[in-house]
Structure 1
């Protein structure tokens, strides 16, 4: 049933006149009369008794339009609530990220976001499995992998770099690592499951990229576990700067080859914000996207590759 037609029926019942309602909507009275007849045929009942001077509701018309009037008010109320929700960031916001990335990069920002948007209920879903954004009702996903859904909107949050790290104790026990080829004599803590990242790319000052295959001491499917194993001295680990920078700064880990740029074989080089569509983007999603794009930590951002002069001077 056409909602506009129902509104006109309610107005006729309230004003008791076809012509006044037609004038209100800038319609011909005969078109209003035909519309009423069409609705009556569809319902199979007579809604109005007509005479040359008066229009009155039938018993069936009164029962029907009383309920219709209430439903139209509820529909208007729902529409206004929806407009308010879309204009003002509110409601439940489901955000997913890997465990390590979410814990390290997202959680520290959440107190500020919560204070800015108290009407948004955050649901942080940290998992190393890639959830289906539609079936799992995900509003925003934070991703590092190059294997991202092609039908999602992707916005780069920040560039990412990697550091080859080891604990000071490990280097005392096993000796210094001075160049990438030395890694063949060291068993490393690798990230990834079921396919550990054992092939690393070394970016040379000449512009060439060398492939180094490293032996494994242990693998971890979670970045936090990989970092804990490196801190415990199990072996060197290639970790993103956002995960390792604080431990390097504190001296718990050593940046082994600072004059080289080393990346995993499937290096993406960035953190991305993914959401399903730009069309009718909810205010709550726009709020979190804009907030995150305006907040990055210096240690997360990829440093420029060391210059040739810097390399030769060390």
Structure 2
């Protein structure tokens, strides 16, 4: 029944096969077998897409609730007998994933060895339903969508440079001096054209920036900054450890700086359901605990 629901949502066998790691012919044969058992066609087949038949639409609307009830019953029973278990499909951006999430995986697995983690690092926002995502972490000023949205942590930005860069090119005393510097830019709207500064004692200042290097990877921008290639606007989760260790210098610690809006955050997203699976719940609680500890150590 779960396969029928997924095929209806995806609209073709190939997409379902990719998400499950099986051959499309297996999906097609399985659906045909289910239709034989039911005694009616679930889908109209065309060369481009599948569409639900009238009978298939009625059937799907009833079984979605049944499948969700079954999942909840199984999850509650397993929680009593075995604790959190199952495959947790989780996604986040490449940079945040490698810098923040990957170092936490060993501890999570030691706490919950029966939860298998399928971690998908991608700078594209995957569809929670079509890609069968249990939990997503996304970075943005605000977040909305069809699923449930909850803030994981606030994020901030710093303008950073390496000590080597500053020794070769001199200190940067004020934000406006960045107009004369060759900055390392990030390939997102705003991030590569202007940075906005504000402090308790001054009004907001928008500083135009330029540079000979523009990158689409936050990790690459960070590495180039540490290598002394110029000042860069880096997220706190990317730069704070290096600032603490002296590998990077926060050029304007008394300023709030951004390229979009001051209030940015990492957000948790998960599909809307009548219940939250235990494997998702323990990951959310684990991440909140780790992020609180991380903030306390900086």
TM over 0.5: yes
Q: After superposition, what is the alpha-carbon deviation per residue over 1:228-262, rounded to whole angstroms, capped at 9, x for unaligned?
A: 11112211011111111121122221111112111
Indicate conservation of the 8 Å contact 2:190/2:260, yes or no: no
Q: After superposition, what is the alpha-carbon deviation per residue over 1:148-173, rounded to whole angstroms, capped at 9, x for unaligned?
A: 44222111111112111111121122
Cα distance in 2 between the residues matched to 1:281 and 1:225? 36
**Runs of 4+ more than 3 Å apart:** 77-83, 85-88, 146-149, 193-197, 297-301
Match of 2:65 in 1: none
Indicate conservation of the 8 Å contact 1:242/1:299, yes or no: no
Indicate conservation of the 8 Å contact 1:241/1:300, yes or no: no
Equivalent residue in structure 1 for 2:235, among 229, 235, 240:
240
Cα distance in 2 between the residues matched to 1:82 and 1:113? 19
Structure 1 gaps of 5+ residues are 1-76, 304-314
Pair 1:80–1:196, CA change in 2 (3 A): closer
Whether 1:191 and 2:186 are equivalent positions in the alignment is yes
Equivalent residue in structure 2 for 1:158, among 143, 153, 162:
153
Cα distance in 2 between the residues matched to 1:299 and 1:82? 31
Q: After superposition, what is the alpha-carbon deviation per residue over 1:187-208, rounded to whole angstroms, capped at 9, x for unaligned?
A: 1111234774432111132463
Cα distance in 1 between the residues matched to 2:73 and 2:153? 37
Whether 1:221 and 2:216 are equivalent positions in the alignment is yes
Pair 1:135–1:78, CA change in 2 (3 A): closer
Whether 1:204 and 2:199 are equivalent positions in the alignment is yes
Q: After superposition, what is the alpha-carbon deviation per residue over 1:118-175, rounded to whole angstroms, capped at 9, x for unaligned?
A: 1110011111111111111111111112364422211111111211111112112222
Indicate conservation of the 8 Å contact 1:203/1:262, yes or no: yes
| Local SS of the residue matching 1:235 | coil
Whether 1:96 and 2:108 are equivalent positions in the alignment is no
Match of 1:288 in 2: 283
Whether 1:146 and 2:141 are equivalent positions in the alignment is yes
Equivalent residue in structure 1 for 2:123, among 111, 128, 143:
128
CA RMSD of aligned residues (A): 2.6
Cα distance in 2 between the residues matched to 1:188 and 1:283? 46
- TM-score, normalised relative to structure 2: 0.69
Match of 1:272 in 2: 267
| Local SS of the residue matching 1:216 | strand
Match of 1:111 in 2: 106
Whether 1:252 and 2:238 are equivalent positions in the alignment is no
Greater Rg over alpha carbons, structure: 1
| Local SS of the residue matching 2:274 | coil
| Local SS of the residue matching 1:144 | strand
Cα distance in 1 between the residues matched to 2:293 and 2:108? 19
What pairs up with 1:42-57 in 2 under 5 angstroms? none
Structure 2 gaps of 5+ residues are 1-69
Deviation at 1:288, TM superposition (A): 0.7
- TM-score, normalised relative to structure 1: 0.66
Indicate conservation of the 8 Å contact 2:75/2:277, yes or no: no
Pair 1:177–1:207, CA change in 2 (3 A): closer
